[in-house]
Every structure is written in structure tokens, then in C-alpha cells.
Structure 1
């Protein structure tokens, strides 16, 4: 591609990034609603038994995990715009169904509703990949950061929607907020219609009709791929484990529902606010160092979580958790982009998100069991060994890469 065409493509990528950021801001705001209220609504519907209280939140993560590969493959065939529009529909349906389930007092139906919301979340995961479909490397990295920065607004919209709409359908607790979630999903669907495809939607076939590129097994054996996925899993699963437990832990320590909602708001803001400059940091310092910084922040989050149970302790824990997720997850996503060719992106991105969100789903379910058993302190202790495994994998991949470079030299 000549310089003039590349400049034009970069312009389209930048324009698309702003649309994707807006879609991420609105559709992403449904996650804080589901996370903050999913466990509390579970307690409301189940009674005092907390062991299954986080099952709705887990169902949301499972819905995302099971839909990641189909979402990625669907978009590789029909394009990003139609994929994002189609993917926003389950959030609308899930919000309406959750409202009805709460009004009827049906726990099982509420779990199904959050599963649908999770399905929509799998399509939201593709926003960051859509930002790097085309364009120069510098523009793609900054576009991904801009798209992820949409989470800043979702971090405000979601918790504020809880505070402003929770009494809409009083005396039915939480129903008004899930009705608002359905409305947000519909607005997100409309915004997604403005996304433009900047790369061919269909993978190029081989002569014998199979998909182009290397076998997925060969790609997944690369040390760089293994390290990237492990670091992404650690960042996301630890975030899911601690974040899911935090609202229940806060209520259990005598804090209010609004305290929990605002804590999640600070957490989501911390998750996405650094995205305005994470891309620049990656360009300047390298992906590996940013991932290591993320792991250090996750460790600091656990240290603060173990230090006390005041409102300040919970909020600082959640803020550090969000910052650690941002550096760890975005850095790992950038690392992953080094391991596949353009024609392989659909399968590799789908596999990555399936593994990451599948692990997050298990962490979410485990969170409910642990908060009702060993408790908040034990949940924070889990952070340390998981971070250690990630750092070992990252070091292993780095040493192998350096050794290979020396041999080639």
C-alpha cells in the first residue's frame, strides 16, 4: 500500500475509533450494573444463602465465554458493523428479562437474563480488536487505547444508572436498574450502526476451501502466545474474582449499596482511564514492561485488600485492581497481536477471548463460594500465586525470544 492510501486508511481508522469508543461507553455501562447488582439481586432472590448469590454474575461471564468464538467468526464473515448491531440485541433482551424475573421473584430466569447480557458482552470484547483491523502500527495502538477509553464513560454511566433508577419500579428491588440496562443496550445498538468496516470481512480461502493461515494448534504453541494468553487470563480472572466479591464483602462489612455502586464506579474508571495513554506507554516502554507493571498493581491491590475493611480500603483496592487490569490486559492484547497473521485473526482472537472469559467465569463462580466461606481475605491471598505464574511465563517467553534473536544474528 502506498503512502497516500495508508494515510487515508489511517484517517478512517481514527474516525472508526471514536464511534467504537462511543459504542463501548454505552454498551460497556451494562457490565457495572450486572456486576454490582447481580450478586445482591441473587441474595434478594435466594435469601440468606450466599453460596449461589454470584451465580447470575457467573452466568454473565459464561455467556461471554461461550459466545466469544462464534462472535469472532461471525464478524469475520459478515463484518464488524453488522456484527456489533446483532451483538447488542441480547443486552436489550437480557435487561428486559432480568426486570421481569425480579418482578416475578424467579432466580433461574434472572440467571438466564444475565447469561444473555453476557452474550452481548462477548461482542463488546471485539471493539478493541476492531480498532486494530487496519492502519499503521502506531495508529492501531492508539486507536485501541481510545476505544478502551470508552470504558471511562461506561464506568460513570453504569453506577449512576443504578443510583438514579433503582427505585423506578419500587418496591421491587433492582428491577428499575435492569430496565435502564435494556435502554442502554438499545442506544448502544443504534450507535453500533455507525461503525464502518475498514478491513475485508471474509477470510481469504485456500485452494482446497479451508481458512487461510497456519493451524490454530501451531499458533498456540508459540511461547509468546502462551505468555500473552496467560497474562490476559491472570489480569481478567483476578479482576473478576475480586470485583465480583467486593460488593458482597462491602455490604457484609456494614457499608451501603450506594457505597458498593460507587466503589464499582471508581473501579471501572480505573480500568479504562489509563487507556488514553496506555498505547503511548506501550510504544515507549514495550509491551512486556507494561504487563509487568499491571501485575505489580494487582499485587498492590491484594496488599491493600488485606490491610483493612474500611470504605477507603475497599475503594483503593478496587482502584488498584482496575489499574492492574488495564496495564495487564491491554499489554497482553498487544502481545497477542504479534503472534498471528491478518488472515488468522478471527480464530486466534476468538480462542484468546474464550480462554480469558472462561477463566473469568470460573473465577466469578469461585468468588461466590469463597465470600461465603473463607472470606474476603482469602480471596485477596489468591492474587499472589496467580501473578507469580504470569511473571514466570512472561520471563520464559522473553528469554526464548532473546535466545532466538541471538542465534539468528
Structure 2
């Protein structure tokens, strides 16, 4: 196959994943914006566990990562990804049924199933990159992440237009929309052609595969890992509590849902130029910028409870996550060899989404016990500590040179 045909097929594959990301990826904003509110609605007087369904979603993403990869190796990516989209539909149907039955624990399990479907979505960008020639890989990833911008619009709008569809049961209609989104995504993914087995870049550093302990004990690995996991966990911590805080401050459900929409768009939209910024300014500076933006998010949130303050804080939270997480992930790729990437990525994703799940649960407990301000006060010292670690690394590198 010629280079021209390879590039054309890569573009087609990336576009297919991007369109599917817009639909199946829209299930995540629905789960996040409605999960905590529905949990609050299902519980009695004690709202401590209100965000547990969102935690269930994140647990599902973590637990589904490795089985998703195994399934796709067994039956191929076209059928594997389509199955993942249909699992999202099943999760949506179960969530709607749980709300109709007014069963909190059933609802949390249903969102975990929805999270398993979401674990397939997490792999779209990797599959698009694997199917692309080296010159197109960054754009392939950007195309897929660009679909996330549309997911940020489709998901919250689906909530606004369908949440009352099954009244008097609140929110159940929104999860019926998840069923439709998953089915649409499965249909799109079935148009994928057979994807080539990824070939290692001939110019990439090579060498024998090292023991796991040797890899993860590298100072640069540890710093990148801590910054990546911390950035993602803080984003989940604040984002999960934000809709509940907005409702408790007298803002409407539509306002809370739109706030999540702005937040998710802010998470994905910068991806179109984050890579260029990393090339120009360096990975560490972009990570530091992301952490500073997270601090800005906390400061804005602590400044007041007006709708614009909630929305602006959520936008800063999204952009801060984008810079911090993508920059830290780029740092991480410097610390392992191509032969080691599968096991490192597996450990990274498991630790990442386990921490994110804990953060989403802690968000509800903290909000219920101490209020919205405390969520944001916690962000400040954690980000400051990560910034100090980055500065320490920069000092050591400069001193050695």
C-alpha cells in the first residue's frame, strides 16, 4: 500500500473515531453531571455517599481498561470498540431502571457498567495513532480529542432535553439518551476497516525490556507520574462536587449541566495546540502552567458563589487539566522504551483511574461535611507541592549541566 493510501486510510480511521467520540464520549458528561445529583435525589437525609455513583463510573473505567484491550486483541478493534459502545447503552438502560426503582446501590452499579463502556472510549486516540504513519500520529490524536469538544455539547444538551422524559422519575430520561448514544456510536464504529498491527518507530530508542521497579524508580518517572495522577484526581475532585454545589447555591439544573459542558469543552479544546506549546516551551513548563491554572480555578471558586464564578472556575479547571495531564504524560513517555510501553501504560491507567475514583468519592464526602470552599482549599497545597517538585527537578537538572 502506498504512502498516500496509508495516509488516506489513517485519516478515515481517525475521523471515524472522532465522530464516535462525539457520541459515545458524550455519555461521560451525562454520568458526571447527573450521577451525583441523582445520587443526592435517591438518598435520604445523609448525603455523604451522593457522589458514589460517579465513583462507580470511574471504577468501571479503571476495571474495564485491561479487559477492553484483551477483548480487542481477541475479536479485533472494530467489533471490540462496537461492543464497548453497546456496553455503554446497557449501562444507560440499567441506570434508568435503577432510578425508576429508586434504588441507589443499583444505580451506582449501573454507572460502573457505563464506566466499563467508557474504558473503550479512552483507547480511541491510541488506536487512531497506531493506524497512522508517523507524520500523521499527532493529528490523528488531535482529531479524536476534537470529537471530545462535540461530546461536551451533545452530552449536556441531551440531559437538558431528556431529563424530564420519564417524569415523575427525575433524571431517568437522560440515561435513556445514553442508550441511543451508545447504539449510534456502535453503528459508526462498525464502519471501521481492519486496522494494521502497530509497528514500532524505527527511530525510537531501543533496548532490552527492564524490570518494572527499575523503570518506576527513575526520578523523572516518579515526578511525571505524580503530576499526571494529581492533576487528573484534582480535576475529578472539584468537577464531581461542582454540580451539587451549584444546585445547593440556588442555581438551576440546566445551569449546572451547562457548567459541566463548558468544563468538558475546556478539557479537550486546547488539545489542538497543547502539543505545539510543549514543543516550544517544554513539557515541565506546560505542566507547571496547568498546575497554576488549577490554583486559579480554586481562587475563583473561593471568591464567590455567582454562576459566572462557578463556570469560570470550571473552565480554568478544564484547561489546567489539559496542560497538566498532557504535559505530564509527555514527560512520562521519556522514561520508558517502546518494548515497555504496554506494561507501563497499564500500570499508569490502573493507578490513575483508581485515584480518580477515590477522588470522586472523597468529593461528595468533603462537600457534605465541609462545603464547597473546602474542596477548593484542598487544591491549593496539593498543586503547590507539585510545583515545588517540578522546581526541584529543574534545579537538579540545571545544576548537573
What is the TM-score when the length of structure 2 is the normalising length?
0.91
Distance 2:28 2:143 in 1: 19
Give 1:352 deviation, angstroms.
1.2
Structure-2 residue corresponding to 1:256: 252
Structure-2 residue corresponding to 1:42: 39
Query: Relative to 1, partners in 2 of residues 1:7 and 1:339: Cα closer, same or farther, differing over 3 Å?
Result: farther
Unmatched segments (≥5 aa) in structure 1: 204-211
Q: Deviations over 1:136-171 (max 9, x none)?
A: 655322322221121110100010000111121111
Distance 2:332 2:194 in 1: 22
Q: Which SS does the other structure have where 1:372 is aligned?
A: helix
Aligned 8 A contact 1:90 1:117 in 2 = yes
Aligned 8 A contact 1:145 1:275 in 2 = yes
Q: Which SS does the other structure have where 1:114 is aligned?
A: helix
Q: Which SS does the other structure have where 1:385 is aligned?
A: helix
Give 1:310 deviation, angstroms.
0.7
Structure-1 residue corresponding to 2:343: 347
Query: Relative to 1, partners in 2 of residues 1:220 and 1:87: Cα closer, same or farther, differing over 3 Å?
Result: farther
Distance 1:73 1:394 in 2: 36
Aligned 8 A contact 1:282 1:331 in 2 = yes
Give 1:113 deviation, angstroms.
0.3
**Which of 186, 189, 197 matches 1:189?**
186
Structure-2 residue corresponding to 1:207: none
Structure-2 residue corresponding to 1:297: 293
Establish whether residue 160 from structure 1 lines up as the match of residue 157 from structure 2. yes
Q: Which SS does the other structure have where 1:153 is aligned?
A: helix
Give 1:44 deviation, angstroms.
1.4
Give 1:356 deviation, angstroms.
1.2
Q: Deviations over 1:9-50 (max 9, x none)?
A: 454433322222112211111111111111111121113321
Figure out how many residues of one structure are paired with residues of the other and give that number: 394
Aligned 8 A contact 2:131 2:198 in 1 = no
Unmatched segments (≥5 aa) in structure 2: 201-207
Query: Relative to 1, partners in 2 of residues 1:83 and 1:281: Cα closer, same or farther, differing over 3 Å?
Result: farther
Distance 1:112 1:216 in 2: 33
Q: Deviations over 1:323-351 (max 9, x none)?
A: 11111122222223333333333222221
Aligned 8 A contact 2:13 2:131 in 1 = no
Q: Which SS does the other structure have where 2:250 is aligned?
A: coil
Query: Relative to 1, partners in 2 of residues 1:161 and 1:100: Cα closer, same or farther, differing over 3 Å?
Result: same
Structure-1 residue corresponding to 2:309: 313
Alignment of structure 1 residues 53-132 onto 2, 5 Å: 53-75=50-72, 79-132=76-129
Distance 1:308 1:194 in 2: 49
61-70 vs 79-88, which moves further: 79-88
Distance 1:8 1:395 in 2: 46
Aligned 8 A contact 2:23 2:151 in 1 = yes
**Which of 12, 15, 19 matches 1:15?**
12
RMSD between aligned alpha carbons?
2.4
Structure-2 residue corresponding to 1:144: 141
Query: Relative to 1, partners in 2 of residues 1:85 and 1:346: Cα closer, same or farther, differing over 3 Å?
Result: farther
Structure-2 residue corresponding to 1:387: 383
Query: Relative to 1, partners in 2 of residues 1:95 and 1:389: Cα closer, same or farther, differing over 3 Å?
Result: same
Give 1:265 deviation, angstroms.
0.8
